[in-house]
Chains A and B, each alone.
Chain A
Amino acid sequence: MSRGSLSNEVAADADADARYRNMAALSDQGGGAGVEQAANTIFDSLRTAADPILPTDVVHGIRTLRARTFRALGTMIETAGDDRAADIYRLAERGLRDTLVLQAQAAIATQNAGAGLAWTRNLGNRLGSGVRNLVLLVRGGGATAVVTGSGSYEDRLIEQEVERQIDLRFAGLTFDQMAPEDQALIRQQVGRLAPNFIAFDPRNLMQWAANEPSTVIDATTGNSLSYYRLVEVLVGGDYIGSKHTLPVLSLMQKDPAYRARLEEIYNERAAEQPVQLAYNRVRRERSDQDTQKTRIETMIQQIEGALQSMSQIREQQSIYISNRDDAAAKTAEKTALGPVTAANNQARKELEASERAYKQAANTASSNLTRLVGDVKGKYRRLLLAASPSGTAFPSILKMAAGTLSKPTGPDNFVNTFQKLLDVNGSNLGIQPVPTGAATPGLRDQLDQVKDAIEMRNEPYSPTNQPDLYAEGYKDFDDLKRKNDTASSARSTDYVLTPHQLTYNVIYRQLRVQIPPQANPPNNAHRLAVENAQKQAIMETFLLMDRVESDMDEGSTVREARRLSANRIMRLMDSGKRLSFKEFVEDNLAEQDLYKGLKGLTLKTTANEVLQMIREERLKEEHLPELMRQIELLGQDQLEGSGKLNLEEDIRPLHRQLQLAWYRLRAESMLKEAGKTGLTNREEVILNMLKEKAPEAIPPDAQPGMAPLAVATRRESRRRRFFDAIKAKIQELGPDSDDGKLQTRRLGILQQIPSLVLGDMVYNVVANIPDWWRRRRKRKEAAAAASTAPATEETTSETTTVTQVEAEPGEDTEESNVVSLNQEKKKKKKKGPRPPSPSGDAPEALAA
């Protein structure tokens, strides 16, 4: 393997970058707003790295691009002496590490194929051509799962070791502290941001931009603006130094004509006309009025909703007080009873029963009350937070309300306070500024005022309603708008563009990637762009496959990846037609070496049948988690919308069966080892099982088009953000904080969540019994009842049960399961290995 072909990788990534830009350009064909929308989509994708509408490989490309962008940004901010650099470095490090981990894992897989576990010495070759091609192939085909392995213990070890190696190499180092080859690597990565430029050091570029004066003179200071400031103003301060502005700055450095054009645009923008100023002011006012109207209406609606809950609270309070008093009366009567006699004992029993009933009723009312109070508190806290983000009026109302609702006068206080907001003084909610010394009307009156203003704003201007605009010669709003439009049309195209549009247009013009105009622009330009990107991804993957086949033979790993890629590509190409489950099994699963014996797999396959396949060696135990992942992938495909199968009704039950089979295998193995603690075997095994995690469940937040890797990455990035945020609060949240290390992980979070929040959730969780479990329990009870039946029936029970089961096709029962397993165990004793069982013991089947 040589490192010389690394430039090919650079070129390939540059192509990928250009592809994202092409997508934005294609969107532009649908109209002027398309560019901004596409730019926003891509920018958001860079931020979240999880745009569900993009193909998996594009998402992956975006994720790595994001890492590079952050890295570049970090370097620049560090140069500027900004404290945020450390945070950005950390983000970048994570993204960069993801890429390197992938590459290193591919190197490991390659080496493992030929040289056992002697992979450590090959880490240095991870950028070699073979690995590069493999990684590109895998990225292109979205078959990462195959290369990263089946999640086996060995894989995890390798992954940990790679993480450690990369940590050793990068963790805690600033750019300047890194080894020269690492610096070069990062520079190369940054260089790919602007595909047609050579790699550059962004620090130099930023310094140049900050120091180089433009011809634009700042009207307030009389000094020349730097090019840095010029770009900052033109594209917006938030974007300076970002992916969008790096190419702009680079262009400015290279091309004087381009610099002059930007200066022109700046001057044009600075010379705003009076009509534009007037129009913008009026438009802002109108927009404020609309916003205010919506806010007030929402407030009123929410307050009225909360007030309705008051009557329920009052009712529960009255039930509670009445029952509590009755219970106390019964207690008093009981105490007053005389000496122990038969009659007194009887009376005491009756009084106790009565007392219990009252207490029970009081408790129920108390629970209801707490829940209702919780709901209302939640409602008006949200209400107040929404209404008063600055919190000016928040404390007093919240203080009044907190903890008082459950007291007898609480509801009245609540009603009075909010009624006043509605009818007397709505200023407490911060909707309108409070004029000094003047009473502010209630929300309802405020709403009327705003509605009146909205109605009046289309009236002709007069010296009384709009003296300034009238004096400037505008007849009404339509007149003002018309004049503004006329003035605007005289401006250059660049002037009216938003910062995003400006940046993109400039880039496209300079890089000559404009798309020729189409005679009939498609209505759904964005969809077309995505489809085109998919086609391009497919073509690239085919090219990569050819390259791999002709250049090298990396053994079975490559072939396996290729096969999976091909299947995935076929599905992409045939996106209008979804595979049936049978097709999926026969054309996809059974074609893979690992799953050749799975042709009989159906959506109704039970855990017992899976175990049978394992016993027959049609499926290896260690490949079960990977099979589950494949089923997950299928489920995600179905989530895309046009699938034939239903995720909940079809795929998840099968997934559950596979999971149950996995758990049974684990339980079986643990049972063999049990007996080492003071617990019973059953308790010991259950405890050990609880310590194990599910192999790979379908992520609850899985979105269409997201591969497991993307889901995992997104989770990881959120986790990081969560812990970053909570770390800052550790002094408050964690009972024990250890020099900055996170100690809130276990039980810490839970302890901080008050019962008020937990209450409803617990109720719902307790009430939510899975159907399969409910049916299973019912069957157990029936079986228990049957076992207590007269002995004459018991003597024939076994054969009768079997006969009944056979008489109900498609219905697996617990009895059949018990019988079959018992028979299995008997056979096992005689023959050794466990024989297959014809019946299913899976949750659904057992419960049928």
Chain B
Amino acid sequence: MLTFADLIHTFLDDLGLTKASQSVQKIFGLRLAELVDEQIEEALVDTLTDEDWKTYEDYRTMHPNTPSDEALTTMLMSRPQIREVIEKQLIALREDILMKGAAVEDEMK
């Protein structure tokens, strides 16, 4: 299964940075991770409803001793639209990154 690291690696590859030094990759990796996080946050802001939060609360009530991420997983899995919106946001982010890379490349020629 692909992980978050794979996503960042893909973005680095899109920007032609996979052969850069480790420290440079780390700098870019952090920035890209922030961007991904922002997009997911945006998507959740746009998508989550009171019903979704109720799902979360129900789970927490029923499972007071489990980690909160299980409740979050339940909430995110409870409605496919949530993941669809996140996915769309990430696809749009990737295109934006690609355009920025293309713009820099064109200007440097």
Chain A interfacial positions (CB closer than 8 Å to B):
367, 370-371, 377-378, 381-382, 385, 389, 391, 394-395, 656, 659-660, 663-664, 666-668, 671, 679, 681-683, 685-687, 689-691, 694, 697, 700-701, 715, 718-719, 722-723, 725, 729, 732-733, 745-750, 752-766, 768, 770, 773, 776, 817-818, 821-822, 841, 843, 846
Contact = CB atoms under 8 A, between A and B. Distances in A.
Name the interface size band of chain B: 35 or more
A385 B59 CA distance: 9
B6 A762 contact: yes
Nearest to A663: B103
Given A719-B45, A757-B73, A663 B37 contact: no
Contacts of A715: 45-46
A756 B73 CA distance: 8
Nearest to A720: B45
Interface in B1-30: 1-4, 6-7, 10, 14-15, 17, 20, 24, 27-28
Given A385-B55, A694-B96, A667 B4 contact: no
A722 B34 contact: no
B68 to A, nearest CB: 4
A391 B61 contact: yes
11 contacts: A381-B78, A385-B74, A391-B62, A660-B102, A663-B103, A689-B104, A715-B45, A746-B38, A753-B69, A766-B6, A846-B102
A750 B36 contact: yes
B62 A395 contact: yes
A382 B46 contact: no
Most buried by A among B41, B53, B88, B101: B41
Contacts of A697: 92, 96
A746 B103 contact: no
Given A690-B35, A761-B90, A683 B20 contact: yes
Contacts of B28: 683, 686-687, 690
B37 A750 contact: yes
A749 B91 contact: no
A373 to B, nearest CB: 10
Contacts of B102: 660, 663, 773, 776, 843, 846
A138 to B, nearest CB: 27
Contacts of B76: 753, 757
A331 B31 CA distance: 41
A381 B34 CA distance: 30
A700 B53 contact: no
A700 B62 contact: no
Given A683-B17, A686-B17, 15 more contacts: A377-B77, A381-B74, A667-B106, A667-B107, A681-B108, A687-B27, A690-B35, A690-B100, A749-B44, A755-B1, A758-B7, A762-B4, A766-B7, A770-B94, A773-B98
Contacts of B63: 395
A762 B2 contact: yes
A766 B1 CA distance: 12
A753 B40 contact: yes
Interface string B56-98: 1010111100001100111011110001011111111011111
Nearest to B57: A729
A666 B103 contact: yes
A664 B48 contact: no
Contacts of B92: 697, 700
Nearest to A661: B103
B36 to A, nearest CB: 6
A750 B77 contact: no
Given A746-B37, A757-B83, A765-B90, A690 B109 contact: no
Contacts of B37: 745-750
Contacts of B1: 367, 370-371, 755, 759, 763
Contacts of A664: 103, 106-107
Contacts of B104: 667, 682, 685-686, 689
B63 to A, nearest CB: 7
B101 to A, nearest CB: 6
B40 to A, nearest CB: 6
B107 to A, nearest CB: 4
Contacts of B36: 750
Given A755-B4, A757-B77, A761-B86, A722 B44 contact: yes
B99 A843 contact: yes
Contacts of A761: 83, 86-87, 90
A818 B109 contact: yes
Contacts of B20: 683
Nearest 7 CB-CB pairings of A with B: A663-B103, A732-B68, A378-B77, A762-B2, A759-B1, A722-B45, A689-B100
Given A685-B104, A747-B33, A765 B4 contact: no
B2 A759 contact: yes
Contacts of B33: 747, 750
Given A697-B92, A843-B102, A690 B45 contact: no
B108 to A, nearest CB: 6
B1 to A, nearest CB: 4
Contacts of A746: 34, 37-38
Given A752-B68, A768-B94, A690 B6 contact: no
Most buried by A among B40, B95, B100: B100
A749 B40 contact: yes
Contacts of A377: 77
Contact of B53 (A385, A719, A725, A753): A725
Contact of A690 (B10, B32, B53): B32
Given A718-B46, A755-B4, A765-B87, A656 B62 contact: no
Contacts of A748: 37
Nearest to B92: A700
Contact of A671 (B34, B61, B68, B107): B107
Contact of B3 (A681, A725, A749, A758): A758
A843 B94 CA distance: 14
Contacts of A370: 1
A666 B96 CA distance: 14
A841 B44 contact: no
A725 B7 CA distance: 28
Contacts of B97: 690
Nearest to A760: B83
Given A700-B88, A757-B76, A770-B98, A690 B3 contact: no
A659 B28 CA distance: 22
B20 to A, nearest CB: 7
Contacts of A776: 102
A226 B14 CA distance: 70
Contacts of A671: 107-108
Contacts of A663: 99-100, 102-103
